[in-house]
Amino acid sequence: MSNSLEAIHLLENKLKNLLSNYDFLVKENEILLQNISKLQQQLLEKEQLEEHLKKEYQMLKIAKTIEGSNQSTRDTKLKINALIREIDKCIVQLSE
């Protein structure tokens, strides 16, 4: 009889440990999910900043070329032509 009681107590202790570990893992999972969310937000912000800086760099290159620099004049002319085509498309869409 005492063998059965010991087995029940042992099972009870193991079950308590299992539940304790489960609670710990659930809390740890929540923390990790929050960290993932924060990191994803930071990544998105960095990607937006990178895109903004790329655009700013392109504009700076264009400004330098227009200023009289001989570097990448062809690129600037192509960019200006592309902008003019885009403006023309917008005008056509507005007139419809």
**Distance in angstroms (rounded) separating the CA atoms of residues 65 and 76:** 7
Question: Would the pLDDT of 62 be above 90?
Answer: no
Q: Are 51 and 37 in contact (CB under 8 A)?
A: no
What letters, b where the CB count within 10 A reaches 16 and e where it falls short, cover 51-67? eeeeeeeeeebbeebee
**Per-domain residue ranges for the chain?**
2-95
**Mean residue pLDDT across the chain:** 88
**Cα(first)–Cα(last) distance of the chain, in Å?**
93
Chain centre distance of CA 42:
6
Whether 69 has a pLDDT exceeding 60, the answer reads no
The pTM for the full model equals 0.54
**2 — pLDDT class (breaks 50, 70, 90):** confident
Paired tokens of 90? 């917008």
Confidence of residue 71 (pLDDT cuts 50, 70, 90): low
